[in-house]
Copies of this chain bind each other. A is one copy, B any other.
Amino acid sequence: MVQQEVLDRTFAALADATRRQILIRLGQGPASIGELAEPFGMSLTGMKKHVHVLENAGLVTTEKVGRSRRCRLGTERLEDAMSWIRFYQRLWERRLDGLDAYFTLNKEDDR
A contact residues vs B (CB 8 Å cutoff):
1, 4-5, 7-12, 14-17, 20, 23-24, 27-32, 35, 70, 73, 78, 81-82, 84-86, 88-89, 91-92, 94-95, 102, 106, 109-111
A89 proximity list for chain B (CB < 8 A): 78, 82
A31 proximity list for chain B (CB < 8 A): 111
* Known interface pairs A15-B15, A111-B35; A27-B85 also in contact (CB < 8 Å): no
| Cα(A23)–Cα(B88), bound, Å | 8
8 A-B residue pairs with CB within 8 Å: A8-B17, A10-B15, A27-B92, A27-B94, A30-B110, A31-B111, A78-B88, A81-B85
